[in-house]
Amino acid sequence: RAGTGSAYEGGVRVPFIMSWPEVTKPGSTSDVPVITPDIPATILDLTGAGIEPGQPIDGRSLSPLLRGDTLAREALHWHYPHYHPGGATPHSAIRAGNWRLVHFYEDDRDELYDLAADPGETTDVATERPEKAADLRRRLDTWLADVGGQLPTPNPDVDPARDRP
């Protein structure tokens, strides 16, 4: 659903290829979701550069995946507090397991999708699963507070019903 600039799978799910000579097994694949900020974290890890104690970093090193191990992570987060000429309005999202919650700031609305049952994100189940929507929204809000996420300033020229892609 959707494409670049959206918080739906069509906007954030893309193939990623990474190799580490003499470490990765040729032809190996992984279905573990990763996110762009993992790339600098991985480079820092693989080069031994590391980060200063207490220095925040958004991503996680993917080196365990390159070695064929697992990568434990509770959730992936996206935050886009801006308006885009292509129609994207401010939104944030969280993916935890097979669940994705997208929060739209313009109309303070949440959409919830079960990606296992509905990979095309065609059926919003927020009203059928209010406890899951509330849990993911709480986790998203906590993450935004922890990272100091900038909240958007409403644009009076945008009508969410008209302008959402």
Q: pLDDT tens-digit profile of 9-38?
A: 777 777 888 888 888 888 888 888 888 889
- Whether the pLDDT of residue 164 is over 70: the answer is no
Q: Which two tokens stand for residue 71?
A: 């990568």
**Integer Cα distance of 92 and 79 in angstroms:** 4
Q: pLDDT tens-digit profile of 80-136?
A: 898 877 777 899 999 999 999 999 998 899 999 999 999 999 999 999 999 999 999
Residue ranges of alpha helices (H) inside the chain are 9-12, 38-47, 63-66, 130-147, 160-163
pLDDT at 142: 95
**Integer Cα distance of 82 and 155 in angstroms:** 10
Answer yes or no: are the C-beta atoms of 61 and 40 closer than 8 Å: no
Q: Pick the closest to residue 60 from 43, 75, 87, 42 (CA basis).
A: 42
Q: Which two tokens stand for residue 16?
A: 């990623």
Domains of the chain: 73-163 (3.30.1120.10)
Q: pLDDT tens-digit profile of 26-76?
A: 888 888 888 888 999 889 988 888 778 877 778 888 999 888 888 888 899
For 80-110, the DSSP string reads E-S--TTS---EEEEEETTEEEEEETTTTEE
pLDDT at 160: 62
